[in-house]
Structure 1
Amino acid sequence: MNHYNNDLRKDCERKDKQAIGMAEAHVDNRSFKCLICLQECNTPRQLPCFHTFCTGCLDTYINSEYVTEDNRTYFPCPVCESPCYPHDKDDPVSSWAGSFPRNQLFASSMFKETESGKTFCHGCLTDDEENVASFWCKACSEALCQPCRVAHRRSKLLSTHKVIAIDEVSKTDIRMPVFVDNTCPRHTGKTIEVYCHDHNALCCVLCMALLHRRCTNVKGIGDTAQMFSLDVIECELGKMTDESKTIVEEDENKLTTLESDYEKMTSNVAMIIEKAKDKLDDLHKRFQTGLDVTYRRHRDSLHERLRTNRIFQANFENTNQLMKVVKGKSPDVDTFIVTEQSKTQLLRHVRRLQQRTGDKHNTFELKMRYDVVLEKVVNVMTTVGRLEVSSSLSSSSHDSLTSIRQIIDTLQATSSATSFSESMSSSDMLSDVGHVTVPSSSITPRIDVWTGSLSLVKSVHKPSILGYITPYLTGVVFIEGEGLLAADYNNKKLILFDDSYEYIRHYDVDNGPIDITRGFEQNELLMTQMNGSVIRCTFQNRVLAGSTSIGKKDCVGMVWGIDTLGDNILIGTDYSVEISTSDFKQVSPIPKRGNSTYVAASPMGLFYYSEEDVIVCRSRDGKEVFRHMCKGIKELRGITLDQDGNVYVCGMESGDIHLISHDGSRERVLLSRMSGITRPYAVVLHPTRQEIIVTSWRENVAFEVYKFCDQ
C-alpha cells in the first residue's frame, strides 16, 4: 500500500508541475453549489451525511417529502437518502431545515461584497446579516462593521488586536475565516475525539460507547491527524472530477443529438404527410403523438440522468473546493476531519449514483422505417411507419463510472493516515481517550467478501466439549481479551473457548440460554433464556457474575435473538421484534410472521431480522427500509453483520450460509454446504480476523470455523 501511495503522489506531482502555468493564471473561485438547485449555495446547511444544501432548497424539499400520515420524525437526504433527524422531532416541519448546522467551510469560502464592491462584515455574515464593514482586524483576519468593532474593542482577549480601516487592506487579503465543525453529528454537544479504523469513522466518546465498543483498531484523532497525508486524496479527487465531467459532457452531447434527431424526423415525416394530403392527416396526428410521447419519455429519462450526474459532478467540485480551502493549512485535525467527512459523503453518493444511473441508457437513436407502399397504396394504409428506438449506455460514460467506482473503493480501502505505529481498543478509549495504547500487529489486507472464497480452519466436535447431552449452541459472542462465549441451550451452560477455539471452561445457568450479546457497559452481557427472561450479567477475567433478570416477556411463544441498537435493546420473539430502553421499559413491538427470530443491529442505525425466509431491514424508528428474499434458503436462523454492514444468515433446513449487502441489492451463497454440519444454526464473525464461526443444530460437530481467502 505504501508503494501505491508513493507512486500516486509522484503522479500527482507531475500533473501539478504541468498545470503550474494554468494555476498561476487561474482566479481562485471558491463558490460551492447546492446539490438541489445546482446554484451557489445560499446559507448552506449540512446534514449528518455531510451533504450540503441551501436552507431554502432544503426547506422546500423537506416540506414536499414529509408525509403527515406516516407521522415520520425524519426525512431522507435528497442525494444519498440517509435518514436525517431534526434537532427536536417535536418542532414544526417548517423549522427542520434551519435546525441543521451551517456548513461553515462553505460559508467562509463564499466571499461576499456589496454591489459597489464594499466588503460585508464577516461576523454579521455568520448570522446571515449583511452589514458593510469599515474595519479590519489583522490578528483575526476579519472584516468588522462599527458595532462589531465596538464589541471587539471591549473584549478583554481581543482589545490588544491591531484594527485598521478596511480601505488599507488589499482585496486579496480579505477572506472569511475558515471554520471546521468538529462536533459529533450523532450526539449533541460532543466533539470528535477518536477515529475508528475498523469502520473509517470519526467518533466522539459516546459513539465509542454505543456504536464501536467492539472495535479494536481505534486511535485518538490528534495522533491520527499527525500521520495524515492530503496528497493522495487530492489526486484521487482530481481524477474523479475529470471522470464526472466526462459523464456530464457525454450526456449533454447525447441530449443535443437526440433533440436534433427529433427535429429532423419531425420535419421529414411532415413532408411525407404533406404529400399524402388530406387523407393522411389522421395518420400524421397518430404518428406525431406517438413520436412526441416516445421523445418526451426518453428526453425526460436523459434529463433526469443528466441532472443526477450534474449533482454528482457538483459534489466532486465542492469536495475539490474544500480541499483547496484546507490545503493551505498544515496537516492537522481540521484537515483530517474534512477529508474523512468528504470520503463518507462521496461513498454514499457513489452508491446512490450506481443505483440510479448505473444501468440507465444515455444514447437514444430515433429511426423511422417508412412503409414501402406509402405512395402506392394510400387507400389501404393504417400507419405511416413504425417508430424504433435503440438505446445504449455509451462506452465513455460506462468507463468513467467504472473508474469512479474503483477510485472510491481505493479511498475506502486506504486510510488517510498512511501508517500507524500503535492502535487502541475501544474499552481503553472509553476510560482515557488518547492515552492508553496497546501495540498493534501488522495489518493483513482484507479479502473482498463478494469475490473471496471460504476455507475450513477448524471443526470443534462434541467430545471436546464437556456436556451430558449433545451441545446445542444457539448464540455466540466474542469478548475482548476473553475469547468466544457460546450459549449451550441443551446443557443450560455458557461455554468459553480461547482465541484458537479450544475449550477452556463452562458456566452453569438456571435456564437454557438462547442468545447472547454485548451490553451497554464495559464487560456487560445481555442474554435471552427459554423461560422468556432477559438476563444482564458481567464477564471479566473469565468470571461470570452479577446475573440479574431485567425483565420477562409475557408473550405467546419463545424469546430468541437479542442485540443492542444505540441505547435500545432489540429482542426477537416468535411473532414480533420488540424495541425497549436499556432498563427494559417503553417496549415497542413490530409484528412479524414466522418464528425463531434472530436480530442484528448496525452502527448506522439500522437493524435486520428474519421473517419466514425473508430478511427485513428497518431504521431505528421502525420504518421498513427493504425486504430481501434469499434464493433457495429455508428456515432462517442466526444472523450477524460485518464492519461494512453486510448481512450473514444461516439457512438451517437448506444447510447453507448466505451473504446479503447492507442495502439488500446483492446476494451471494457463501457456503452451499459445510464440512461436518448439515443444519447450521448460529453465525458470528471474528472481530479482527476474517473468520466465520457457524454452529450446528444438535450435531456431532458443535461448530466450524471458516476463513476468507483469495479465489
Structure 2
Amino acid sequence: MDVTICPICMETLQIPRCIPCSHNFCQQCLNNHINNSCIGKDFPTGFHCPVCRKYVPGSISTDNPSLWAETFPKNAIIEFMIKSNDEKVLKLCKPCLNDNKEESASTLCGSCMECLCAGCTDHHKKLTITKEHEVVPLNVINKSFHRKTEENFCSKHDFRHIELYCFDHDTPCCSVCCVTDHKTCKMDTIEKAFENIEKDNDSLQMISEIDRVASHLQKLKEIQKEKQSKIEDKADEIRDESKRIRQEINETMKKLEHELLEDLAEGMKATRKAIAGNMETFSDLIDLSNHCKAFLANPSKKSCNPGYVGGFYQIKKQLKRLKSAKLSIKDTAITATFSSVLKEVKSSKQLASLTVNEKPISLSILEFQSIPKGIVQVEKTVLDIYHKYGARINEMFLFENDADLFVCVDDKTNLVCTTSGLCRKSVHFGFTILHAVMMRGKIYAVSNRKNLHAIEYLENSATYSRIKFNINRRCFSVSVFQENLVVGCNNAILHLETNGKEQKIIPAEGRGLDVISLNIGNIVYIGRTVTGMRIVRGIESNGRELWKYEHSELKRPWGLTKDFVENIYIAGNFSNNIHMLSSAGYALKIFEQIPLPSRMILRKESNDEFYVVSASTSVKQVKLIL
C-alpha cells in the first residue's frame, strides 16, 4: 500500500500524524477515529489503531480526546515524500546539486531529509556527525516504507534531537526547548536521567506498581462484569415476567371468552326458540284468517243452506276471537357488560412502570484486601525540639540546595538545620507559620491567622522582607505547580501567580488542610468537613472529583507529599502509618511503625530518603521499607 495514502479516507495524507504502531493518518481522520472510539467512556485513556488494532495511549498532556490527534508527531518523511512527488526531488542527489552536479539519488537520509547518491551515501555513513543517521533506500520508501517512531526527535522543533529531560514539566526537551521554554527548570541529560532510573530500580518499582494497579483494575472489571450479569439477569427476569403475565392474561381471556360465548349461545338458543314459537303462532293466525276469507269469498259456497249459514257464524266467532287474541312480539335485547378491569387493561399505556437507576459507586469505598504492608525504618533523629524549646513543629521544607531544612515551630520560631541535624540559626518573621513552601528563593507561608505571605529570605542573611497577599479567603495550605501557587481554602483551591494575582478558583469540599499538584494538573488535597472528618480526594483542574481515598487503617490524614513517579504519600497521624497511593488513587502500600506522623518531604536527589515530623516534636530521617 502507498504510505502516502491515509488508510481511513484513502486520500493523500493531509498533516500526516504517526502513532506509536508506525501507522500514519490524516490529522482530521485520526481525530474523528479517536472521538468515535471514546464515545460513552467515562474516563477515556486511549484508543485502538484502526489498521492493526493495537492499543494506543492518549496524550498525558490533556484528558480531552479531541486534542489527542495533534499531540502525535508529524511524519516529516512522508510529508517530504508527498512534496517530492510534486517537485521530483527524489531523483537527484541534494549534496551533488549543491555542487552543481546532477547524480541520481539512491537513498534518503531520514535525519537530514536529503536524497543521496551512492557516493554521498558512503561519505554520509563515514562522517562522525552523520554516521548514526538513518539512511533508507529509495525503492524501500516507495514500496512499503513505514516511518519509525519519532521518540528521538522534538515534537516542537523539527529534526532537533531530544537530549534533555525537564523534571518540572515532566517532558523531554531539545536544546531549543531548553533555552526558550525551560530556562529556570530542573533539567538533566537523557543519559543521566536514565542512569538515575536504573540506579534506583525505578523501572522495576513501576512494573510492580503497574502490576498492582492492573490487578486492582482487573478486580474492578470483574465487579463491573458481575454487575452487568446481575442487570442482564434482572432484564431477563422482567422479560419472563412480562411473558408470563401476558400468557396468564391470554389464558384468562380465553377462558372468560369461552364462558361468555357459551352463555351467549344458550341465551340465543332460548331466544330463537321463543321467537320461533311466536312466529308459528302468527303463521297459524294468518292461515286461519286466510281460511275464513276463502270460505266467505267462494261463490259456490254462498247459498241458502245450513252449511253456509253455520259456517258464516262460526267465522264470525273466529274473527271475534282473532281480534281479541292476546298477541305479543318477542322483543329480546342482548347486552354484555364487560369487566372494568379489562377496560383498564385496554386503556393502559404500559404493562409496567420501568425505571433504570444508574448509581456510580465511588472506587474509594471498594476497599480491597491484601494491601501490602511495609515499615518506616528510622535512620536517625535529625531534630528533637520538645525538651529544648517546649514547642511543637507545624511545618518543614527543604531549601532549594536540597541540603538544609527549614523547620517552623508554633512559638513563631523557625529553625534552619542541616539534614545531618546541625541547627545553624533561628529566624523570626513575626508570626507563626502553619504551612509553607519555597520557590525561586522565596518562602510562601500561611500564618496562624490564615493569611498568605511572601517572604524574601536569603539563607545566609539575617534580613528579610515580607508581603501579605490580599486574599479575601482564609488560607490553610500552600504548594507549587509549575510557576504558580496552589492554595487550600474553604471549599476552594486557588491558583495564584507569585505576586498574589488570582488565576483560577477550583471548587473543593471542606477546608483544604494540605494540597499538592501532579504534573498533569490534577490536584490531591485533604479536606476537612464541618463535622471534622478528613478525606483525601483527587480532582481535575476544573474541580471534577476523580477519586476519594478512605481506609479503615487511615486515621486523621495530616500531610501529603509525592515522589518523582508521582506516587502519593499520606501521613496517618492517629493511625501511626503512611499510606502510599498511585497518582490514580489506588492504595499500593501501607508503611507502619511511625509515631504520629504529620509533615513529610522527600529529598530531590533520592527516591527513598524521607524526612518526617513525628509526634509534632521531632524530625526523623526515614526509609520506607517495601
Give TM-score, length-normalised by structure 1. Answer: 0.48
Q: Aligned letter for 1:137? A: L
Uncovered stretches (5+) of structure 1, i.e. residues with no partner:
1-28, 111-121, 141-151, 229-341, 365-381, 383-448
Distance 2:386 2:179 in 1: 37
Q: What's the CA shift for 1:454?
A: 2.6
1:549 and 2:489 are equivalent in the alignment: no
> Which residue matches 1:60?
32
Once the two structures are overlaid, the 10-residue window that deviates more, 589-598 or 560-569, is: 589-598
Equivalent residues in 2 for 1:219-234 (5 A)? 219-221=188-190
1:471 and 2:392 are equivalent in the alignment: yes
Equivalent residues in 2 for 1:484-563 (5 A)? 484-488=405-409, 490-519=410-439, 521=440, 523-543=441-461, 546-549=464-467, 551-555=469-473, 558-563=474-479
Higher relative contact order structure (alpha carbons within 8 Å, sequence separation ≥ 6): 1
Equivalent residues in 2 for 1:99-498 (5 A)? 99-100=70-71, 102-104=73-75, 108=77, 123=80, 125=82, 131=86, 133=88, 136-139=91-94, 158=98, 160=100, 162-164=102-104, 172=139, 180=150, 192-195=162-165, 202-203=172-173, 219-221=188-190, 453-459=375-381, 462-463=384-385, 467=389, 469-480=390-401, 482-488=403-409, 490-498=410-418
> Which residue matches 1:634?
555
8 A contact 1:563–1:570 mirrored in 2: yes
- Matched position secondary structure for 2:477: strand
Distance 1:357 1:482 in 2: 43
Distance 1:528 1:46 in 2: 48
The 3 A distance-change label for structure 1 pair 357 and 456 is: closer
Q: What's the CA shift for 1:646?
A: 0.8
> Which residue matches 1:706?
622
> Which residue matches 2:535?
614
> Which residue matches 1:417?
none
- Matched position secondary structure for 1:507: strand
Out of 598, 614, 626, the position equivalent to 1:681 is 598
The 3 A distance-change label for structure 1 pair 174 and 683 is: closer
CA displacement 1:641-688 (0-9 Å, x = unmatched) = 0111111112233333211112112342212x42xx3x3321112223
- Matched position secondary structure for 2:57: coil
The 3 A distance-change label for structure 1 pair 643 and 85 is: closer
Distance 1:34 1:452 in 2: 52
Q: Aligned letter for 1:516? A: A
Distance 2:483 2:519 in 1: 11
Q: What's the CA shift for 1:572?
A: 0.9
8 A contact 1:473–1:696 mirrored in 2: no
Q: What's the CA shift for 1:508?
A: 0.3
Q: Aligned letter for 1:584? A: G
RMSD (CA atoms)? 5.5
Q: What's the CA shift for 1:202?
A: 2.4
Distance 1:482 1:208 in 2: 27
Q: Aligned letter for 1:594? A: G
Q: Aligned letter for 2:547? A: F
The 3 A distance-change label for structure 1 pair 531 and 642 is: same
Q: Aligned letter for 2:552? A: K
The 3 A distance-change label for structure 1 pair 565 and 544 is: farther
Distance 1:461 1:179 in 2: 51
8 A contact 1:212–1:603 mirrored in 2: no
- Matched position secondary structure for 2:509: coil
> Which residue matches 1:693?
611
Q: Aligned letter for 1:682? A: R
Distance 2:472 2:564 in 1: 34
Q: Aligned letter for 1:631? A: S
> Which residue matches 1:276?
none
- Matched position secondary structure for 1:593: strand
Distance 1:45 1:349 in 2: 29
Q: Aligned letter for 1:534? A: L
- Matched position secondary structure for 1:597: strand
8 A contact 2:169–2:519 mirrored in 1: no
8 A contact 2:515–2:560 mirrored in 1: yes
Q: What's the CA shift for 1:527?
A: 1.9
Q: What's the CA shift for 1:570?
A: 0.5
The 3 A distance-change label for structure 1 pair 82 and 51 is: farther
> Which residue matches 1:661?
582
Uncovered stretches (5+) of structure 2, i.e. residues with no partner:
48-55, 108-116, 119-136, 197-202, 226-243, 245-370, 529-533
* Identity value in percent: 16
Distance 1:485 1:98 in 2: 45
What is the number of residues matched between the two proteins?
A: 425
CA displacement 1:395-434 (0-9 Å, x = unmatched) = xxxxxxxxxxxxxxxxxxxxxxxxxxxxxxxxxxxxxxxx
Q: For the pair shown, which has the larger CA radius of gyration, 1 or 2?
A: 2
Give TM-score, length-normalised by structure 2. Answer: 0.54
8 A contact 1:656–1:669 mirrored in 2: yes
Q: Aligned letter for 1:665? A: Y
- Matched position secondary structure for 1:578: strand
Distance 1:501 1:178 in 2: 53
